[in-house]
Structure formats: structure tokens, C-alpha cells
């Protein structure tokens, strides 16, 4: 594909004429404008319906792309047409219309938008956003791209492809020449000629093996295995693009396309670090995971690939590349923050209790063993609730039940350890702080409420059952007010983070500073 730029203020309108791939076509009945011999092509500009063709931007295997001006709206566009009459066939026109239909059905900042599709003098055309810049393939040939830039580009493209998958469409032709880079370095996915729908929706299915570019095709796509062609083919394509950005060559390349297909199906790619030793080990592992022969060993989705690439840019541990015990622990804490926070805090207090009883001898067995049993039971229950939370039909209710159980365990521990005089009172604000990890305001307020009730019960229990403990209600009201304030502030923080996350999903992520790995 050719150069194009996203400088149009107008919103993208849906195409005015998008014909289904199932529509019947009769090539012989079309009054065809043969672009290969048309005399006006040597005299730019020339009129083409409501457009004015200004210059040729580039040619592909089937189409040619021109820079044009939409006269009624006075905006620059890219116009794609089937190359010439000799290439006209039912299948090629179906593919051309499929491209228009697929691209028109999605709106994303990193996907080239479609303005219109139709015919002029029998010539099928697609009018698209004009992106002023170059294709990624041309950028790779012209300059060496840094790791950070490569990761940023593929991460943005992966987010765009994830959005495409959410619309039940797979691209199936991801390669540098189908990614445009504007003047600001922003990538845009284009060329949906091979796109197809999933689950009976989207842009239709072929009944024959899908074609594509051998260097970037997934093994199952190269085999023509219809049962396995899906979103993981695009994950492979993203890995192939990342591989070429890092090494300046595709994973597999041979002058004979048939030999290339054999390598795609049977051979393993050369690890990028063998070509360029300066490449990060982490990035190499991410890339090779995308290029696994077995689709089940690849990233499960484009979104998960994008998340790992974002972590790499941020200098965080990339889970799929974690090897040391320290990195694996970081990944575990990130993936299971609720369970990790429970076990770490409980282990800390168990350690204090063991220290007091066995070394400092300031605990009696009557207090020590029941309290230790409660803390251990609390930890075991956390493991059980985490397991329950993994069940798809239990995810919504589990946090609320878990929160209630936490307060019950804490109340039992406090009653065994001196009630309102126990050092375990510090766990009240810790519980409130941990509630924010669920990012649910209702849950924060639930824990705040039951925490206040629990502490009120402890005060009442001491008043009626512990005459040896002096009760100063002013101090307890201050403590209750402090607990309420902590819960209130955490709820505000969760609300603020929720708004920021919603806003962040609507705009491209900023370029982040990379830390050495």
C-alpha cells in the first residue's frame, strides 16, 4: 500500500455503497475502465466521479492507490481501485468489496477509515482516509528502528487488531506494507482484502484456502487449515512484523514462495538475538511466543500481547519472559493482587506472633495457639476464595463474600487477642486499603460499613465483658471517624482511577520511557 495521512477533521462516514460478498456479479456486463491503458493516467489531475485524482501513490498485487481530492468536501483522500480489466474476476471483485465492508465496520484511531465505496464507469473504488507518511515496509528499508519504537508500533497495531477481533473480523494479511506510519510516527492498519468474519458474522467466509503473503502467514494459514484459521493467525502476523522490525528481515524468506511456505509450516525461525545480539532477551521471548507453530502456545489474544509490550516499555516485568524467582513473584503479585496482599499481610502477623511466643516469651499458649489457628485459617480461606473467583459464574459475587469473611476473621482474631487493645487493630485500615484493589466502589463501601460495625461490636463487648479495660468513648468515636474517612477517600480514589481508565481506553497510549532489561 502507499503513503496516506490522517489530516481530515470530518468524521468517517459509512460507505454509501457496500455490497455483500454474497452478491452476484457479472464481470462481462460491466463497462470497465481499464486503468492500465487509460490515456488520462499520464495527465494528472483528472476527474473520477466526485473525486479528482492527483497522483499515484503505489500499486499492490491487485490494486492501485491514488491520492485524490473529494471535491464536495474539499478533503484529501486515498482512492483504491482494481488494477486493470485483465484482473477482473468474480473472486477479485468479491475480495475488493470485502475489503471495503470489513474496514467500514470498524472505527479505531489506528485503523485507516473508509469514507465510501462504489463504482465510476464500472470501476470499483474505495475512498479512504489519506495518511501522509510511508508504509512501515519503506520505513524499515530506509532507517534502523529502535527497540522502543518497534515495540510502540507493534503495541498500537496489536490494540487495533484486538478491536478488529472484537468485531468478529480477522485481518489475515498483517505485514509491514499494510501498516502506514504518519509524520508523527503513528501506525495505521490498512488493506482488508483478505479479512474474514468469525462465527458467521463480519465479512463472510471463503470456501477455499485463504491466500496471503508467505513470509508473514501463520502455519495453519499456510496449510489452508480452515478449522484453525482465526484470531491467532493475526497474533502470528504481529509477531512476524515485530521480528522484521528487530532484525530487518521476515522470520522466513526464500526466493521461491513455495520454499518459504515449507519453512513457515516446518521450520523454526532463527532467534532474533542470533541475528542481532543487542536485542533484549525479553523482547526475543515475546516475539518467538507469537511465532509458535502451535496456536495454543501463542499469546491468547492481541490484547495480551499489547499488555506485555506496554510492560516492556514501562520497564516492568513481562510475564511470558519471567525466569527468575523474583520476576515470577512479581508476576504472581500482579496477576493475583487480592490473594497476594492477604497472604503477605497474614504471613507478617503470623511471624510477629511466632516471634513473641517462641523468642520473646510474652505470649501464653492460651492466646498464642487460638490466634495462630485463626490467622492460618484466614489464609486458607483466601486461597479458597481466590480459586472460587476464577470460576466465570462466580466472579461477580466472590469479592463481596470474601470481604465479609475477612471482617469476620479479623473480628474473631481481635476477640481472641484483647479486643480493642490488640495490635491487630491496624488490620482495619489495611482491609479498607486492600478493598481498592477490586476497583469497585460498592465493595469499598461494603467493607467500610462492616468494618465500622465490627469495631462498634468490639467496643460494646469490652464495655459489657471487660471491666478491666477503661472505655473512653471519645477515642473510639475518633477511631470510627478515621475508618470512615479512609473508606471515603479510597472510594474517591477508585472513582478517579475508573474515570482515568475509561478515558485512557479512548485515546492511544503515550510513548513511555523504557528502562533497561
The structural domains of the chain, with segments of one domain joined by +, span: 27-129, 134-331, 336-504
The percentage of the chain sitting over the pLDDT mark of 70, rounded to a whole number, equals 81
pLDDT exceeds 90 at position 191? no
SS3 499: helix
Categorize the per-residue pLDDT at 417 as very low, low, confident or very high, splitting at 50, 70 and 90: confident
pLDDT exceeds 90 at position 380? yes
Categorize the per-residue pLDDT at 454 as very low, low, confident or very high, splitting at 50, 70 and 90: very high
Cell digits for 215?
A: 513470509
Count how many residues are written for the chain: 517
pLDDT per residue over 429-449, tens digit each?
999 998 888 888 999 999 999
- Of the residues 26, 173, 386, 498, which is catalytic? 173
Q: How far apart are the C-alpha atoms of 357 and 349, rounded to whole Å?
A: 12
One of 3.50.50.60, 1.10.510.10, 1.10.10.10, 3.90.1150.10 is the CATH number of 134-331, namely 1.10.510.10
pLDDT exceeds 50 at position 515? no
Categorize the per-residue pLDDT at 324 as very low, low, confident or very high, splitting at 50, 70 and 90: low
What's the mean pLDDT when you consider all of the chain? 81
Q: Please state which of the ranges 243-252, 323-332, 369-378 shows the lowest mean pLDDT.
A: 323-332
SS3 420: helix
Highest average pLDDT, of 22-31, 59-68, 395-404, comes from 395-404
Residue 516: the pLDDT is 37
Identical fold between 27-129 and 134-331 = no
Is 74 a catalytic site residue? no
Looking at per-residue confidence, does 170 or 504 come out higher? 170
Residue 468: the pLDDT is 81
pLDDT exceeds 50 at position 126? yes
How much is the average pLDDT of 322-342?
75
Distance of CA 206 to the CA centre of its chain: 28
C-alpha distances out from residue 459 to 345, 411, 428, 429, 470, Å: 24, 11, 14, 17, 11
How much is the average pLDDT of 343-368?
86
SS3 52: strand
How much is the average pLDDT of 366-392?
90
Residue 24: the pLDDT is 36
How many Cα atoms occupy the beta-carbon half-sphere of 163 within 13 Å? Answer: 19
How much is the average pLDDT of 241-257?
90
pLDDT exceeds 70 at position 4? no
Looking at per-residue confidence, does 343 or 58 come out higher? 343
DSSP designation for 468: T
Categorize the per-residue pLDDT at 460 as very low, low, confident or very high, splitting at 50, 70 and 90: very high
Residue range 27-129 in CATH 2.30.30.40? no
* CB-based burial label for 50 (10 Å; 0-12, 13-18, 19+): middle
Residue 503: the pLDDT is 66
Q: Please state which of the ranges 210-214, 298-302, 421-425, 463-467 shows the lowest mean pLDDT.
A: 210-214
pLDDT per residue over 33-49, tens digit each?
455 455 445 578 888 88
Categorize the per-residue pLDDT at 493 as very low, low, confident or very high, splitting at 50, 70 and 90: very high
Q: How far apart are the C-alpha atoms of 46 and 48, rounded to whole Å?
A: 7
Pick from 299, 377, 384, 394: nearest CA to 338: 384
Looking at per-residue confidence, does 482 or 63 come out higher? 482
Distance of CA 139 to the CA centre of its chain: 25
Residue 38: the pLDDT is 54
133-135: strand order across its sheet = 133-135, 179-182, 187-189
Residue 35: the pLDDT is 52
Q: Please state which of the ranges 106-115, 185-194, 375-384, 505-514 shows the lowest mean pLDDT.
A: 505-514
How much is the average pLDDT of 152-175?
93
Contact criterion met (CB below 8 Å) for 54 and 45: yes
Residues 249-278 as b/e (b if ≥16 CB within 10 A, e otherwise) read ebbbeeeeeeebbebbbeeebeebbeeeee
How much is the average pLDDT of 332-356?
86
How much is the average pLDDT of 26-36?
43
Amino acid at each position: 500500500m502507499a503513503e496516506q495521512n490522517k489530516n481530515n477533521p470530518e468524521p468517517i462516514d459509512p460507505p454509501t455503497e457496500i455490497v455483500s460478498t454474497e452478491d452476484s456479479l457479472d464481470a462481462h456486463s460491466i463497462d470497465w475502465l481499464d486503468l492500465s491503458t487509460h490515456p488520462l493516467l499520464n495527465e494528472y489531475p483528472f476527474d473520477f466521479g466526485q473525486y479528482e485524482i492527483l497522483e499515484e501513490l503505489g500499486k499492490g498485487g491487485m490494486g492501485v492507490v491514488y491520492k485524490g481530492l473529494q471535491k464536495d468536501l474539499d478533503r484529501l483522500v486515498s482512492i483504491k481501485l482494481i488494477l486493470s480489466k485483465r484482473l477482473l474476476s468474480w473472486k477479485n471483485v468479491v475480495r475488493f468489496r470485502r475489503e471495503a465492508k470489513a474496514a467500514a465496520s470498524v472505527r479505531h484511531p489506528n485503523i485507516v477509515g473508509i469514507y465510501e465505496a462504489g463504482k465510476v464507469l464500472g470501476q470499483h473504488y474505495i475512498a479512504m482516509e489519506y495518511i501522509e507518511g510511508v508504509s512501515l515496509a519503506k520505513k524499515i528499508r530506509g532507517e534502523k528502528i529502535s527497540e522502543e519504537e518497534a515495540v510502540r508500533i507493534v503495541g498500537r497495531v496489536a490494540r487495533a487488531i484486538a478491536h478488529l477481533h472484537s468485531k468478529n473480523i480477522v485481518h489475515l494479511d498483517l505485514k509491514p506494507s499494510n501498516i502506514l506510519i504518519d509524520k508523527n510516527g503513528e501506525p495505521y492498519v490498512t488493506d482488508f482484502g483478505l479479512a474474514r468474519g468469525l462465527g458467521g458474522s463480519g465479512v463472510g467466509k471463503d470456501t477455499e484456502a485463504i491466500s496471503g503473503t508467505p513470509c508473514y502467514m501463520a502455519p495453519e494459514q499456510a496449510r489452508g487449515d480452515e478449522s484453525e484459521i482465526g484470531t491467532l493467525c493475526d497474533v502470528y502476523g504481529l509477531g512476524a512484523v515485530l521480528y522484521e522490525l528487530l532484525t530487518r528481515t521476515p522470520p522466513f524468506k526464500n526466493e521461491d514462495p513455495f520454499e518459504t511456505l515449507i519453512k513457515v509450516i516446518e521450520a523454526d525461525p532463527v532467534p532474533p538475538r542470533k541475528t542481532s545480539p543487542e536485542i533484549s532477551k525479553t523482547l526475543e521471548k515475546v516475539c518467538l511466543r507469537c511465532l509458535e507453530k502451535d496456536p495454543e502456545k501463542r499469546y491468547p489474544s492481541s490484547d495480551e500481547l499489547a499488555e506485555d509490550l506496554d510492560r516492556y516499555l514501562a520497564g516492568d516485568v513481562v510475564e511470558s519472559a519471567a525466569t527468575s524467582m523474583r520476576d515470577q513473584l512479581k508476576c504472581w503479585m500482579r496477576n493475583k493482587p487480592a490473594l497476594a496482599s492477604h497472604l503477605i499481610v497474614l504471613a507478617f502477623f503470623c511471624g510477629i506472633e511466632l516471634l513473641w511466643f517462641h523468642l520473646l516469651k510474652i505470649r501464653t499458649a492460651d492466646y498464642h495457639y487460638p490466634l495462630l489457628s485463626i490467622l492460618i485459617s484466614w489464609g486458607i480461606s483466601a486461597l479458597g476464595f481466590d480459586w472460587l473467583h476464577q470460576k466465570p459464574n462466580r466472579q461477580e459475587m466472590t469479592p463481596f463474600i470474601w470481604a465479609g469473611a475477612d471482617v469476620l476473621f479479623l473480628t474473631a482474631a481481635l476477640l481472641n487477642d484483647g479486643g480493642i487493645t490488640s495490635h491487630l487493630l491496624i488490620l482495619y485500615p489495611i482491609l479498607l486499603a486492600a478493598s481498592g484493589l477490586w476497583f469497585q466502589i460498592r465493595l469499598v463501601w461494603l467493607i467500610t460499613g462492616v468494618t465500622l460495625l465490627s469495631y462498634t461490636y468490639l467496643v460494646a463487648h469490652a464495655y459489657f465483658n471487660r471491666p478491666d479495660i477503661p472505655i473512653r468513648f471519645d477515642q473510639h468515636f475518633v477511631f470510627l471517624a478515621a475508618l470512615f474517612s479512609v473508606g471515603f477517600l479510597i472510594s474517591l480514589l477508585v472513582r478517579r482511577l475508573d474515570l482515568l481508565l475509561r478515558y485512557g481506553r479512548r485515546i492511544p497510549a503515550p510513548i513511555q520511557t523504557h528502562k533497561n532489561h
